[in-house]
Amino acid sequence: QLQLVESGGGLVQPGGSLRLSCAASGSTLDSYHIGWFRQAPGKEREGISCISSSGSSTNYADSVKGRFTMSRDNAKNTVYLQMNSLKPEDTAVYYCAAASAWFTTPQRMCRARSGINYWGKGTLITVSS
C-alpha cells in the first residue's frame, strides 16, 4: 500500500518561493505517474502538474506554467514541486497523488484525475503579505 506525505507548505509573501516534497513509503514510485493538485477554499481540486513514471515528461496547468517546476527522484522515492513567483491566488491546500502508469497518462491524470489510486493528506500554502 503506497502512502504519500507532503511537506514544505507554509506562509509566504507574494513573489516568494517554496519547495514542496512528496515522500512515498510502502512501495516504490517508479511505476506510478505522480501529480500535484491543489484545492482553494470554495473551489474544485485542480491538477497543476503531473510527471510520468520515468520522469521523461511533465505537464503543467496554464496557471502555473513558467513558475512551477515538478521533478522526481525515484531513488529517494520523492517528488518535488518548486514554486516561484507565488501569487495570492496560489493559496490552497496542495496534494500529491499517484496513478499506476499502466492505466493512465500524466495528461489524463492531471486533467481528469484519471487512474488515481493514492492521495496524500495535503499541505497548506498561504500566499499573503
CA distance between the termini of the chain: 40
Task: Give residue 23's pLDDT.
Answer: 97
Provide the pLDDT for residue 33. Answer: 97
Closest CA to 90 of 48, 118, 29: 48
What 3-state class would DSSP assign to 120? coil
DSSP-derived 3-state class of residue 112: helix
Cβ contact 22:34 at 8 Å:
yes
**Average pLDDT value over all residues in the chain:** 96
Per residue in 2-54, pLDDT (tens digit) is 999 999 999 999 999 999 999 999 999 999 999 999 999 999 999 999 999 99
Do residues 78 and 22 lie in contact, with contact meaning Cβ atoms separated by under 8 Å?
A: yes
Average pLDDT over residues 74-97: 97
Q: What is the pLDDT of residue 1?
A: 87
What integer is the mean pLDDT of 63-79? 96
- Phi/psi for 111 (5° steps) reads -80, -35
Count of Cβ atoms closer than 10 Å to residue 63 Cβ: 13
**pLDDT > 70: percent of the chain:** 100
**Helix (H) or strand (E) run with residue 89 in it:** none
- Percent of the chain that is helix, strand, coil (3-state, to 5): 10, 50, 45
| pLDDT number for residue 13 | 98
